[in-house]
Amino acid sequence: MTQRLSTLSILVPTYEEGLAFFVDQLGFDLIEYTDQGHKRWIKVAPKGAETAFLIAKATTPEQVAAIGHQGGGRVWLILETDDFARDHAAYIAAGITFEEDPRHESYGTVAVFNDPFGNRWDLIEFA
């Protein structure tokens, strides 16, 4: 049996805010956009990635409260790059807020950034 993790849902306040961040700021590809009337099926992914995000608009009070807290305050999203300096500079130019300066660790170069929803991410180039 073969399995793979294909898609993760990420809660956002509105579809437009999700698209603005993932596509406009991070430069992810828009993989699929289907308006189902009562909701939209919107998938985005980094260029060449196998795993995508489903942009999920929060619709209940519980979902709204969970926006930005899906990782419980920890870094829970790790975005691997093949050129840390290039992407770090591009993200700063696109208005991404980093919590720290880049760190050089034994496992690679990394810096934590925040999305506009409150999630914490690692941008990392593994050694």
Chain mean pLDDT for the chain = 97
Gap between the Cα atoms of 67 and 85, Å rounded: 29
For the chain, give me the number of helices (H) and strands (E)?
3, 9
Q: Which domains does the chain have, with CATH numbers?
A: 1-67 (3.10.180.10), 71-127 (3.10.180.10)
Query: Distance between CA 90 and CA 28 in Å, rounded?
Result: 13
* pLDDT tens profile 18-66: 999 999 999 999 999 999 999 999 999 999 999 999 999 999 999 999 9
The residue among 41, 36, 37 whose CA lies nearest residue 15 is 41
> What is the pLDDT at residue 26?
97
Confidence of residue 114 (pLDDT cuts 50, 70, 90): very high
| Whole-number pLDDT of residue 91 | 98
Closest alpha carbon to 43 in 56, 28, 53, 57: 53
Q: Name the token pair of 101.
A: 């300066």
Q: What is the pLDDT of residue 104?
A: 98
Is 90 exposed, middle or buried (CB count within 10 Å of its CB: 0-12, 13-18, 19+)? middle
What pLDDT, on a 0 to 100 scale, did the predictor assign at position 17?
Answer: 98
Q: What percent of the chain has pLDDT over 70?
A: 100
Confidence of residue 14 (pLDDT cuts 50, 70, 90): very high
Q: What is the pLDDT of residue 81?
A: 97
What's the average model confidence in pLDDT over 101-105?
Answer: 98
Amino acid letter at 82? D
Sign of CA dihedral 65, 67, 71, 72: negative
Mean pLDDT of 116-125: 98
